[in-house]
Structure 1
């Protein structure tokens, strides 16, 4: 298997690190708060004295779901950076074939070749591709 070209490696590295920084900035903007305020993802962050409890609970649930999504995405980015640094980027985790450079550039966190991704979606009936 030929390694990724130098230009593709540099593009992936820059893209992944930028995506990581952007995601961390987003998380910080939601979680940083003045000392006298709870972060917006706290369990009771959306409940005021006269607030509707179910609505507050729904908002807290949505914030938690978003935080979980961001955590998973950060993990995917970190895995992709690790694979790039170790020389394993561009290799399908399922079949071991090369992942086309164009696919990696389009979705730097991709872990499967197109054929394996399609099979996974068929098996899981998800119809959803990888995301970044």
Structure 2
């Protein structure tokens, strides 16, 4: 029996496929377009004839980071879709325990249960840590 219900699995699959299509459209929007214009992520693509070079460089740098983020998100969506197809979706890739459905609904690309994610964040020093 899969760790999540068939209804939830269908809902998450639809959401992941939509997110996949949206991310591809966004990525293509940054890289495709007018053949006479450089793509938005090209160095100095935002530099006009009388523009401020540092501001144009900053915009290009931001576009590059957004493209990298979108690419990472696309890889996470593809990995989640692969886990759905293989029947491993909803199982923590670290410890093998079931991931709570509420966590999967909130973040369909999640790969770990909460205890494993907290451990990973402690080990990598990437967690939020205590609040004030």
The answer to whether 1:24 aligns with 2:8 is: no
Instruction: Decide which moves more: 51-60 or 25-34.
Output: 25-34
Instruction: Decide which moves more: 102-111 or 34-43.
Output: 34-43
Residues in 2 aligned to 1:88 and 1:74: alpha-carbon distance in whole angstroms: 19
Instruction: Decide which moves more: 81-90 or 21-30.
Output: 21-30
Q: Give the gaps of 5 or more residues in structure 2.
A: none
Residues in 1 aligned to 2:35 and 2:121: alpha-carbon distance in whole angstroms: 45
RMSD: 1.5
Q: Give the gaps of 5 or more residues in structure 1.
A: none
Regions of 4+ moved over 6 Å: none
How many residues are paired up?
A: 127
Residues in 2 aligned to 1:102 and 1:49: alpha-carbon distance in whole angstroms: 52
TM-score, normalised relative to structure 1: 0.88
Cα displacement string for residues 36-87 of structure 1 (whole angstroms, at most 9, x for unaligned residues): 2122111121112222222221111111111100000000000000010011
Aligned to 2:42: 42
Q: Is the 8 A contact 1:11 1:105 kept in 2?
A: no
Residues in 2 aligned to 1:36 and 1:65: alpha-carbon distance in whole angstroms: 23
Q: Is the 8 A contact 2:30 2:67 kept in 1?
A: no
